[in-house]
Amino acid sequence: MSDTQPAHHTKHLPVLAYPLNNVAFHLVQRDDGISNGTALWLGAQVLSVYLSAEFKGKSKTIETGTNNNMYDTARPKAVELGSGIGLMACGYNVLATDTMHVCASVLRSNINANAHLVPGRVHVRELDWGVNSTEWKWDDHVSITSPAPLPRRGDDGRDFLAPPFDLIVSSDTIYDTALVAPLFETIHALSALSSTTPISPPSSLSSIEASPAPPSKSSGTPTYKPPIIYLAVERRDPTFITATFRRASEEWGLLFQRVPEKRLRRAGVGVGWDAGEWYGVEVWRGRWDGVTGAVK
């Protein structure tokens, strides 16, 4: 991170030259006062560096065809909630989502401008956390939560990123009590859509677990563990953050553990920065328990 400045020092810059995974991305931001999502925040910086290190040199086993025996190695398929200016989306096979305003003002243009630098696929679509998951539309090329699907453009509908997902990521989205329930309901719904069988709760931060796992020969259908969830937050209000993660467990069965600070530092977080520059930024790793709120 020595080649970058902390986000709070760059809000005035209309374009950021941001190195990630040995590639320099150019990201437009807008400090327009309309939405927090149109500018870069510390959580996205920390989480992007950490996940880049976590997944470096690692592969995943995923289904590559309708035949259950067809498996290959590839980058994880992720969905990001509140993608903002698109920093996180620049390194992964990801469905980048945000509000209509953020998608239209910065996210979609940033992804399009940097798409040739990204090894995986990145799709951008609007996702309103207030819309019930039963109304989501995965075949709409603009919005998952629009009232009515827009006309398809050519063959777009054949290549959409959709559940099941291996990862759910979000940064700088836990700061307002009013957003807690919509955020976790969305995470819960995405977890359920990406799962077919309950599993035991996560017990360790020691490794990245593959999801989905190849199906047993006797089952006939693949089984998917709920996707791993990574959240980056700023602990501005310790009581609020603690209560938020307690609610996640009790109400939605989303079980989180904090990634130790020393592990973040080993990944390169904070290199070249004064310690106080990212004080209070935390990364939490979790997974749905596969039971709470599951459809019977």
User: Which of 9-23, 158-172, 198-212, 262-276 is modeled with the greatest confidence?
Assistant: 158-172
**Which of 79, 36, 103 shows the shortest CA–CA distance to 189?**
79
Q: Residue 12's pLDDT is what?
A: 74
**Which of 215, 216, 183, 196 shows the shortest CA–CA distance to 286?**
183
Token pair of 126, please? 């609007």
CATH topology for 7-288 is Rossmann fold (3.40.50)
State pLDDT tens for residues 130-175: 999 999 999 898 999 988 656 555 444 446 789 999 999 999 999 9
Q: Residue 294's pLDDT is what?
A: 76
Token pair of 9, please? 């020092």
State pLDDT tens for residues 208-263: 343 444 444 444 545 578 999 999 999 999 999 999 999 999 999 999 999 999 99
DSSP output for 203-269: --SS-PPPSSBPPPTTTSS-B-PPPEEEEEEE-SSHHHHHHHHHHHHHHH-EEEEEPPHHHHHHTTT
Three-state secondary structure call for residue 69: coil
Contact 195, 278 (CB under 8 A): no
